[in-house]
Chains A and B, each alone.
Chain A
Amino acid sequence: DTGVSQNPRHKITKRGQNVTFRCDPISEHNRLYWYRQTLGQGPEFLTYFQNEAQLEKSRLLSDRFSAERPKGSFSTLEIQRTEQGDSAMYLCASSFGQSNQPQHFGDGTRLSIL
């Protein structure tokens, strides 16, 4: 059990650029979640995958955001035409078994928009 891995750990980009983050969940975890955390706040749910199917998306996830989990293993989160308000920590979590089982979080990707 190597834990949830997220890359990169930090990303600095100019406003208007596209960015992509990667999440590798714990092996055999079938559920994968993305959250966003801004300074001084708790994480907010963005989207959820069960295997390769994206089953729920938050209204926070605007059209500029897209997430994929093509083979039911790793996932990517892409933000197009980044804006200042996208600056945040993006957290990935995974879980296995019954849906009420706790989620295991990665260390996150911190995005800074210049």
Chain B
Amino acid sequence: AQSVTQLGSHVSVSEGALVLLRCNYSSSVPPYLFWYVQYPNQGLQLLLKYTSAATLVKGINGFEAEFKKSETSFHLTKPSAHMSDAAEYFCAVGLLTGGGNKLTFGTGTQLKVEL
């Protein structure tokens, strides 16, 4: 069974400050991990993915995440927050099944960026 825990349903940062969104996973096999962002009334947009290559993964819009197997974590960071980063962020772990990749999502973290 796979699961994802996102610590902190709401995170608030000042514009220009570091963004840190936490994700811990549980997986019985080497995981495929993803971060998605969702803006109101829209679908999910892929930020970055980890598929067993480099442990530090760079994504779009200046975001990056580091896979730490010993901590079963895949935290998302951005050095300097921008107002446009305000959105909901979902961490997901993929389970390969029947030729597909069934994603299990966390409950999400709402990021608020303040002036």
Report which A residues bind B (CB closer than 8 A): 4, 6, 31, 33, 35, 40-45, 48, 50, 55-56, 91, 93, 95, 99-108, 110
Interchain CB contact under 8 A, A100 and B96: yes
Interchain CB contact under 8 A, A42 and B107: yes
A-B pairs with beta carbons under 8 Å apart, 21 shown: A31-B99, A33-B103, A35-B103, A41-B107, A44-B105, A45-B102, A45-B104, A55-B97, A55-B100, A56-B98, A91-B43, A95-B101, A99-B96, A99-B100, A100-B32, A100-B51, A100-B94, A100-B96, A103-B101, A107-B41, A108-B42
The 6 A-B residue pairs with the shortest CB-CB distance in the complex, in nearest-first order: A42-B105, A105-B43, A55-B98, A105-B44, A48-B100, A107-B43
- Complex CA gap A35/B43 in Å reads 11
Residues 87-115 of B, flagged 1 when their CB comes within 8 A of A and 0 if not, give: 00010101011111111111110000000
Nearest-CB distance from A19 to chain B (Å)? 19
Inter-chain contacts of B32 with A (CB < 8 A): 100
Nearest-CB distance from B25 to chain A (Å)? 13
Report which B residues bind A (CB closer than 8 A): 4, 32, 34, 36, 41-46, 49, 51, 90, 92, 94, 96-108
Interchain CB contact under 8 A, B99 and A101: no
Interchain CB contact under 8 A, B100 and A107: no
Interchain CB contact under 8 A, B92 and A42: yes
- Complex CA gap A50/B99 in Å reads 8
- Complex CA gap A99/B51 in Å reads 11
Nearest-CB distance from A82 to chain B (Å)? 21
